[in-house]
Amino acid sequence: MSRTLSTTAPPRPTWQGLRLYSPAILVFLGLALVPTFASLGAENYILGLVTRLMILAIAAISLDLLLGHGGLVSFGHAAFLGLGAYTTGILLTEGVFQAELIVLAVIALSALFALVTGAVSLRTSGVYFIMITLAFGQMLFFAASSLAAYGGDDGLTLWDRADLFGTDLLHTRQGRFYATLAVLLATFVVVNAVVDSRFGRVLRAAKENPTRVAALGFDVFRFRLAAYVLAGTICGIAGMLSALQAEFVSPAIMSWQRSGELIVMVVLGGMATRNGALLGALAFVLLEVWLADLTVHWKLIFGPLLVLVVLYAKGGLAALLRPLTAEGRHG
Amino acid sequence: MAEPILEVKNLDKRFGALVVSDDVTFDLQPGECHALIGPNGAGKTTLVHQISGLLAPDAGTIHFAGEDVTRLPVHARAARGLARTFQITAVVPGFTALDNTALAVQRRSGTSFRFWGNAAKEAALNEPAREALATVGLEAKAHVPAANLAHGEKRALELAIALAMQPKALLLDEPMAGVGHDEGRQLLAVLARLKAHVPMLLVEHDMHAVFSLADRISVLVYGRILASGDPEAVRADAEVRRAYLGEAA
Ligand SMILES: Nc1ncnc2c1ncn2[C@@H]1O[C@H](COP(=O)(O)OP(=O)(O)O)[C@@H](O)[C@H]1O
Ligand SMILES: [Mg+2]
């Protein structure tokens, strides 16, 4: 329910936009400072951890376009992480070192995979959609496991590094950190712009009432498919960053558990909100690290904790931050 | 008579053993308000669903603006100018009244595959939307989420959305269902003004509304068109009185 019932046009000066995005702005400022502080100690560990966190945030934000804004519960989103990571791994192994070529290949393959699997999956809805996206994810998982030439089950260690426009920017942890931060920022800006756009408005309306949207003359399927391709492509790029960061790829990156974790991040942060997916990924990874530090049985605590959050903190972290952001419904 | 804007021929529809459309034939002329009346369960909503494309008929054809649309999906018919309202209010509950209406304007003004720019701030979409809201008396509620509107206001919003589409024909499924007396009068006044602009098929139980708006009335009973003609003829028809009007009296 909206809290405002004003009958006049609500003013929306720029500072309200700043307010709406204030949690994300703080997070990005914090992230930009990480390398400085990391240089004080445990640099490799911290840079690696935060880069991994940012990669998951990119994946979660792209998933929220489907899950939150589109109402499409995809249970196979990690497949795109895997697709991006394996494309990167295989190309590096085969001697393609130009990051700009690798990213083009990742975008093309992710978009194609999303187009084909989306065209099939989006013919279904509800539980069937969940199952079929899961099935496509598993298909890719088993395909990767059987790639004997590229490590099979054991995965593939990457001995070579990618060059970005002939530079060695991506050869250092710091370089990869900043590259990932840039992609995360771009993802955040792009997805939130898409949500506000004409396209996003149709997607959001179709989540609430697809029959009405069709009766207006919109082909709902086409809008959902486009969202599926966009989200899959962004997640594919996250997969590429993951391969570059870990210098290793294995089928585990696209396990169904990973897809489930991405959903939990989005729900934890607050579905269909401006800052939720970013905050959810952040909270998920930090909680995981903190609990793992506390006890070896951390998974026994982590699981129930997530269940509690989902049950009781309705609307996720974004809902808790609403007094700060004044985020309401938007049309 | 001129070429009808909408032409339904020999439509059949069954749900299992239940016949809901039984060889239904009728048309809608330009400038006309054609009322479809009949008791609950007669198959009026099912007929509107078939015309708008939500349900496929078992047999028969539907022509709209000179084109066979029988096999076209809902969105394709709507995009050609066939608008409808729903008996059970169907709006986007989380969107404001203005955004619901602006979305209808958006459909007919340029591409919706635009991924940047804030759609809610596009004056070219909001201005026509405000006009449509003003036509139904909802301008003061432009920024209220549809979910928070009163029932009568939701019915008015349905109408504003349909208007904002600037349709070539309008299918109205009980636009006054469940509204109070005063709101009903307002809606009736709106419909009377609309009549001059867009041909409409009006499904309605309120006989006062039907007889004050309709140029032609068809009576549907058990999926069959029992009688069809100008209002006075239908009012006088003994069979109709027995089957329907009598029941209401
Ligand atoms: N999807 C459906 N499946 C089975 N029966 C239906 C369905 N929709 C409507 N009916 C039945 O068809 C008949 C006509 O319904 P409807 O078109 O809603 O009538 P009206 O709008 O004239 O009141 C009713 O008996 C109703 O119960
Ligand atoms: Mg009905």
- What is the SS3 assignment for A37-48? HHCCCCHHHHHH
Mark whether B110 and B77 lie in a shared domain: no
- Closest to A68 in 3D by CA, of A290, A262, A218, A297: A262
Q: Please tell me whether residue A168 adopts helix, strand or coil conformation.
A: coil
Task: At A278, list the tokens.
Answer: 């970013």
Range in A15-19, A74-78, B191-195, B210-214 the model is least confident about:
A15-19
Regarding the beta carbon of B20 and ligand 1, being less than 6 Å apart is answered yes
pLDDT digits over B59-94, tens only? 999 999 999 999 999 999 999 999 999 999 999 999
pLDDT computed for residue A304 by the predictor: 87
Q: Is the pLDDT of residue B246 over 60?
A: no
Euclidean distance between the first and final Cα of chain A, in Å? 14
- Closest to B106 in 3D by CA, of A60, A201, A278: A201
CA distance B89 to B155: 7
Domain limits at B129?
95-165
The whole-chain average pLDDT of chain A stands at: 92
CA distance A280 to A313: 12
Task: At A270, list the tokens.
Answer: 């607050």
In a domain, B230, yes or no: yes
Nearest C-alpha in A relative to B166: A216
Residue A202 to residue B112, Cβ atoms within 8 A: yes
Phi, psi of A10 (to 5 degrees): -75, 125
Q: Is the pLDDT of residue A50 over 80?
A: yes
Residue A5 to residue B115, Cβ atoms within 8 A: no
pLDDT computed for residue A12 by the predictor: 57
Number of structural domains chain B divides into: 2
Residue type, B238: A
In a domain, B227, yes or no: yes
In a domain, B86, yes or no: no
pLDDT computed for residue B103 by the predictor: 98
pLDDT computed for residue A41 by the predictor: 86
Task: At B18, list the tokens.
Answer: 């239940």
Instruction: With beta carbons under 8 A apart, name residues in chain A contacting B116.
Output: 193-194, 197
Element (H, E) at A228: helix A220-246
Domain limits at A125?
49-255
Mark whether B118 and B2 lie in a shared domain: no
Strands A248-249 and B6-15, by their bridges, are: unpaired
Mark whether B43 and B106 lie in a shared domain: no
Query: Which residue has the least CA distance to atom 25 on ligand 1?
Result: B41
In a domain, A238, yes or no: yes
- Residue where a domain stops, chosen among B131, B165, B199: B165
CA distance B77 to B171: 12
Element (H, E) at A5: none
- Residue where a domain stops, chosen among B148, B165, B182: B165
> The whole model's pTM is what?
0.94
Phi, psi of A297 (to 5 degrees): -95, 30
Residue B79 to residue A212, Cβ atoms within 8 A: no
Contact B97, B160 (CB under 8 A): yes
Task: At A196, list the tokens.
Answer: 């506000």
- Residue where a domain stops, chosen among B165, B197, B216: B165
Report yes or no: A194 at the B interface, CB cutoff 8 Å: yes
CATH of the domain at B249: 3.40.50.300
Residue to substitute from A65, A190, A212, interface B, most B β-carbons within 10 A: A212
In a domain, A233, yes or no: yes
Range in A1-15, A203-217, A265-279, B161-175 the model is least confident about:
A1-15
Instruction: With beta carbons under 8 A apart, name residues in chain B contacting A198.
Output: 106, 111-114, 117, 119, 122
- Closest to B202 in 3D by CA, of B84, B116, B101: B84
A246 vs B237, residue with greater confidence: A246
Instruction: With beta carbons under 8 A apart, name residues in chain B contacting A223.
Output: 112
CA distance A193 to A65: 11
Strand partners, A249: A156
- Closest to A118 in 3D by CA, of A57, A56, A78, A72: A72
Q: What is the ipTM of this complex?
A: 0.94
Mark whether B43 and B108 lie in a shared domain: no
In a domain, A209, yes or no: yes
Task: At A118, list the tokens.
Answer: 């989306």
Q: Please tell me whether residue A217 adopts helix, strand or coil conformation.
A: coil
Residue A2 to residue B75, Cβ atoms within 8 A: no
| A vs B: CB pairs below 8 A | 132
CA distance B177 to B58: 29
pLDDT digits over B109-139, tens only? 999 999 999 999 999 999 999 999 999 999 9
pLDDT digits over A253-297, tens only? 999 999 999 999 999 999 999 999 999 999 999 999 999 888 888
Mark whether B183 and B248 lie in a shared domain: yes
Q: Please tell me whether residue B218 adopts helix, strand or coil conformation.
A: strand
Residue B106 to residue A201, Cβ atoms within 8 A: yes
Regarding the beta carbon of B42 and ligand 1, being less than 6 Å apart is answered yes
**Mean pLDDT of all residues in A198-222:** 98
Distance B18 CA to ligand 1 centre (A): 9
Euclidean distance between the first and final Cα of chain B, in Å? 34
Distance B46 CA to ligand 1 centre (A): 6
Mark whether B6 and B56 lie in a shared domain: yes
In a domain, B47, yes or no: yes
pLDDT digits over B36-62, tens only? 999 999 999 999 999 999 999 999 999
Distance B204 CA to ligand 2 centre (A): 9
CA distance B177 to B152: 9
Contact B218, B34 (CB under 8 A): yes
Q: Which residues contact A311 (CB under 8 A, 6 or more apart)?
A: none
Res. B245 pLDDT band, cuts 50 70 90 = low
CA distance A60 to A43: 25
Number of structural domains chain A divides into: 1
Q: What is the DSSP letter of A165?
A: T
pLDDT digits over B180-233, tens only? 888 899 899 999 988 989 999 999 999 999 999 999 999 999 999 999 999 998
In a domain, B90, yes or no: no
pLDDT computed for residue A11 by the predictor: 52
Residue to substitute from B118, B153, B157, B173, interface A, most A β-carbons within 10 A: B118
CA distance A329 to A262: 24
Instruction: With beta carbons under 8 A apart, name residues in chain B contacting A186.
Output: none
Contact B154, B109 (CB under 8 A): no
Regarding the beta carbon of B96 and ligand 1, being less than 6 Å apart is answered no
In a domain, A119, yes or no: yes
Q: Which residues contact A273 (CB under 8 A, 6 or more apart)?
A: A68, A315, A316, A318, A319, A327
In a domain, B194, yes or no: yes
Q: Give, in degrees to the nearest 5, the angle at Cα B20 between B16 and B22.
A: 110
Mark whether B11 and B34 lie in a shared domain: yes
B36, B44, B46, B202, best to mutate for ligand 1 pocket (most atoms within 8 Å of CB): B46
pLDDT computed for residue A5 by the predictor: 41
Q: Which residues contact B13 (CB under 8 A, 6 or more apart)?
A: B19, B20, B21, B43, B46, B47, B50, B55, B57, B58, B223
In a domain, A106, yes or no: yes
Residue A194 to residue B116, Cβ atoms within 8 A: yes
In a domain, A236, yes or no: yes
Residue B94 to residue A329, Cβ atoms within 8 A: yes
Mark whether B161 and B173 lie in a shared domain: no
Mark whether B206 and B246 lie in a shared domain: yes
pLDDT digits over A85-115, tens only? 999 999 999 999 999 999 999 999 999 999 9
Q: Tally helices (H) and strands (E) across chain A.
A: 15, 2
Task: At A115, list the tokens.
Answer: 């187009």
Rounded to a whole number, what is the distance in Å from the CA of B53 to chain A's nearest CA? Answer: 9
Q: Which residues contact A61 (CB under 8 A, 6 or more apart)?
A: A184, A187, A188, A191, A234, A277, A278, A281
Contact B8, B62 (CB under 8 A): yes
pLDDT computed for residue A7 by the predictor: 41
Q: What is the DSSP letter of A133?
A: H
Report yes or no: A16 at the B interface, CB cutoff 8 Å: no
